Amino acid sequence: MLSIQNLHASVGDKPILKGLSLEIAPGEVHAIMGPNGAGKSTLSHVLSGKSGYTVTAGSVTYQGKDLLDMEPEIRAREGVFLAFQYPVEIPGVSNIYLLKAALNAVRKHKGLPEVDAMDFLTLVKDKVKLLQMDEKFLYRAVNEGFSGGEKKRNEILQAAILEPNLCILDETDSGLDIDALRIVSEGVNSLRSPDRAFLMITHYQRLLDYIKPDVVHVLADGRIVKTGGPELALELEEKGYSWLEG
């Protein structure tokens, strides 16, 4: 589904990713762990098309297409979803409006008609229940005044509605207490399916207790320095990152 080959990316003159390669197949859950400054967030931003990054070498192929050639909204319509580390507050735009506009943009891209208003409401209410959110959140401005946990749940709610093929979770566990972490993880787990892949970017192992990865990568200084199974995460938890560097 996703093939990253020898990816080099910089911010300004500063190289951050220095030859990152990664293959993700449908149905797989990959975790990328690494110390601060390794390039974890840069990877998620480059994949989702945020401006401010220059890809200097390498390629990213998503479902056979050049991902880097697409505008951010086209990536989203093609089924790439980024759950933000810091979801943005958008005063004046209601959550339900954004959900509907986003879903319709994706449907239009796929050549499907706009979603029926009643069907949409049923779908949204169903997913809201799944994430144990209050329906009132739908009518509030996007993320405005939401707690950290509510924002992260809202990200997963959006994913649940948009049904992406590739879900990138950027530090989804940061700022969550244990209850919120459990709810968010259950939401993510409910989205797991044989045609959907996940790329979880995280600093800590604890998220992986709730969302079991198939593959764990260690990112250090812009490169994947080690790849293994779930046991690698535990090893990292025990030993820290320093033994991998240098």
Partner 1 sequence: MSIEQTLNHYSSLSAGLAGESLPWLQAMRQEALALFADRGFPTLRDEDWRYTKLSVLDKTRFETVPQALADPDLLSAYQLEEAYHLVMVNGHFSPELSDGLPASVNGSSLRQALLQQPDQVAEYLGKALPASEHGLITFNNAWFNDGIWLEVGKSQVLDKPIQILHLVTSAQALAATRNIFILHPHAKVEIIETYVGTASSSLTVSINECFLGADAELKLAKLQAEPEKAVHFGGSYVKQARSSRFKHQNFAFGAQIARTDIHTDLFQAAECQLDGLYVAGQRQHLDTLTRINHLQAHGISREFYKGVLDDNARGVFQGRVVVAQDAQKTDSEMNNRNLLLSANAEIDSKPQLEIYADDVKCSHGMTVGQLDEKSMFYLQSRAIDQEAARDLLTFAFANEMVEKVEHTGFKALLHQQLLQRFPAIHL
Residues making contact with partner 1 (CB under 8 A): 48-51, 71-73, 75-77, 81-82, 84, 87-88, 90-93, 97-98, 101-102, 104-106, 109, 141, 158, 162
Q: Where are the beta strands (DSSP E) in the chain?
A: 2-11, 14-24, 29-33, 54-62, 65-66, 80-83, 90-94, 141-142, 166-170, 197-202, 215-220, 223-228
Nearest to 120 by CA among 101, 93, 141, 140: 101
Q: How far is the CB of 44 from partner 1 (least distance, A)?
A: 10
Q: Is 55 or 234 the residue whose CB approaches partner 1 more closely?
A: 55
Nearest distance, CB of residue 11 and partner 1, angstroms: 15
Between β-strands 90-94 and 2-11, what pairing exists: parallel, antiparallel or unpaired?
unpaired
Minimum CB separation of residue 71 from partner 1 in Å reads: 7
Q: How far is the CB of 243 from partner 1 (least distance, A)?
A: 35
Q: Which is nearer to partner 1, 95 or 185 (CB)?
A: 95
Q: Which is nearer to partner 1, 166 or 220 (CB)?
A: 166
24 or 82: CB nearest partner 1: 82
- Work out how close the CB of 182 gets to partner 1 at its nearest, in angstroms, rounded to a whole number: 25
Q: Pairing relation of β-strands 80-83 and 166-170?
A: parallel
Could you give the dihedral angle defined by the CA atoms of residues 104, 108, 112 and 113, in that order, rounded to the nearest 10 degrees? 60
What sign does the dihedral 240-37-199-180 (CA atoms) show? positive
CB of 186 to partner 1, least distance (A): 22
For 46, phi then psi, to 5°, come to -65, -40
The alpha carbons of the chain give a radius of gyration, in whole angstroms, of: 18
- Cβ-based nearer residue to partner 1, 38 or 82: 82
Task: Return the SS3 of 187.
Answer: helix
Q: Name which of 106 and 218 has its Cβ closer to partner 1.
A: 106
